[in-house]
Structure 1
């Protein structure tokens, strides 16, 4: 316990030190540090008053100034979070998971708020929608990027945008377009990852093309009516995903786990159909090697409900690997739940564009810090490899043949 507490204190000091360069004034940096302290408090609601109380302030004014009136760039903090996540959780085989979550709101003034569907509530309701990219590796998972979705009703109302202090050059972007920009930023920053996973909202548009050009694999959800066709394959396949699924035989299905859940392995039935082997050079002349385009189908064991995924992977990739990649999507859902319940992701009280981005980015940094602490705390103890120890081992008279080799 003492080791964990010391790791906590050390990590918190490190995070605050890294943030310091983002702010022109020391008092703003102190407010940002106090903001994170408030997010880490045991208060169930991370409101301005609660954070102020945790910081020992007589009122929420410093917190409000940090999110609203002070001048600092939330995108610089986003980049700091990204670098921090890579430093502590980075792995070449990581999966970048794209998903969205809703922020329930009252009224019409909060930037981007509208009556729209959110999975958080399971219905159409008054809310903001944030699109997020989470980094998931064998070391842990944390948020890496975020974007506030602005519905067309907002884009058609310049006075409303101005009142919410949205940038003058902001234009309408679909959720897949927001996701594509986040993926492009990760690639430009040389973030180590091999895969992208997302649900059916993100399995269309330019994301597939961009990932093929970048040499990244993907498992992206698609609708039942999404068309698939094979070529240069022994088995001819043509039709919608739903139509193809109806032609499958019992032998085509395999029961596999997409990862461990709270109730054990997440077992589902899976089918994988290879559609074509293509040379990576067709999409990027600087790349080579065969890649396979395919269709992955998931069937729920209890009710037979089907889900469909378009895939792109190096030739020879197993269905088990693709199922594992798809299973990483659960990490971002767990992250949303933890970030909302423990760190106040959806407790933002500001109404402005930059208020949303600042609040969310500070929560992302706090979440990333805790992910790094968890990774360090759970890491196996390092073996003693001191020179004296090695000398004693190698000079032992009774060495076995195996130890001498």
Structure 2
């Protein structure tokens, strides 16, 4: 069976290469795309132009660098291929779309969007780029990244068109806040008819009224974290900060439920509901079983979902961190050596495609034959022996 399964893995890799082939005008470019994807899948300690070139037997990284920086191909077209591929395998009406930024530490000031800024990923203010991402998580445990946008700080980048041009940022690319980038990505997901039941995000997005209004206009149910000083008017007419309204709740208002399974077992919390004046809205309070801060979530539930389903959606926000970790460790998401705007989107999209391909292959293997998996990932060529 091992040989047959290896043929399945090779066939899947070839099928993905065939999907992205029409994005490239020249056969050499298609070959370079194949090499780059193969390198991102390989168990290399670092995945950049040098290491990938070495892995595929190239004497120097010039063709990998040219593939990302100069070869004419559309990273957005590849993103669309990725979305279609992911939906063929993982589409689920109960899935959750998750928005989250992640940081990429960088040196210098030439890389598009780089500056000293706070990154939750790095846990500090540092010289870095920030990418805004849209992930897709299913109840069955599948997680993939579907979309991405590079954040361009307003004053140091978007308003400095000469600096943008030097970094390859097209003049047509405007300044967008991260919530505006998320709106753009959700619009694309809706246009692509991606099936999902919920949208989830953290406080940066939950306290943005324009994003909430967009989601409500499109009847997208959401669960988004909000800060403790969020002003709320309850169904009974009480008004105040959510933390004060929560403090007035009786103990019987809390119920203990699990919101998913983590590395240490079920993630259980005490939960309470603060009903808003609008029946489509409610606020959910999450209290740790031991010491720790309460967390608050603004929920738009036009379907009048039961509390158990809302809690499931809240618990589904964490898989985006798993996506980032897997993409960085297994698909080289953060290991690029490019500065230009288009090159960033090209590498990131290829990495997202590699992550999705890994998820599909693992699903195909089912039992997860690690020896077979290692054999496939260490191969430097395809089944035909061509690079």
1:181 aligned residue: 184
User: Pairwise mapping of residues 5-404 of structure 1 onto structure 2 (< 5 A)?
Assistant: 5-139=6-140, 140-152=142-154, 153-203=156-206, 204-230=208-234, 233=235, 235-278=236-279, 292-378=280-366
CA RMSD of aligned residues (A): 1.5
User: Cα offset for 1:372?
Assistant: 1.7
Runs (4+) of structure 1 exceeding 4 A deviation are: none
Do the aligned partners of 1:269 and 1:301 also contact (CA within 8 Å) in 2?
A: yes
CA offset digits 1:243-302 (Å, max 9, x no partner): 222112211112221111111111122112222455xxxxxxxxxxxxx21001112222
CA offset digits 1:198-235 (Å, max 9, x no partner): 000111132221222222210011111211113xx3x4
Do the aligned partners of 1:176 and 1:205 also contact (CA within 8 Å) in 2?
A: no
In terms of mean alpha carbon deviation, does 215-224 or 175-184 score higher? 215-224
Q: Distance in 2 between matches of 1:122 and 1:70?
A: 36
Q: Distance in 1 between matches of 2:209 and 2:197?
A: 20
2:383 aligned residue: none
Q: Which has the higher contact order (CA 8 A, sep 6+)?
A: 2
User: Cα offset for 1:48?
Assistant: 0.9
List runs of 5+ in structure 1 lacking aligned partners: 279-291, 380-405
User: Cα offset for 1:109?
Assistant: 0.7
The number of residues matched between the two structures is 363
1:124 is paired with a residue of what secondary structure? strand
2:384 aligned residue: none
Structure-1-length-normalised TM-score: 0.87
1:288 aligned residue: none
Do the aligned partners of 1:297 and 1:309 also contact (CA within 8 Å) in 2?
A: yes
Q: Distance in 1 between matches of 2:69 and 2:303?
A: 50
Whichever of the two has the greater Rg, that structure is 1
Q: Distance in 2 between matches of 1:375 and 1:252?
A: 41
Q: Distance in 2 between matches of 1:208 and 1:178?
A: 13
CA offset digits 1:122-167 (Å, max 9, x no partner): 1111100000001111341100000000012112222210110101
Structure-2-length-normalised TM-score: 0.91
Cα distance change, pair 156–277 in 1 and its aligned pair in 2 (3 A)? closer
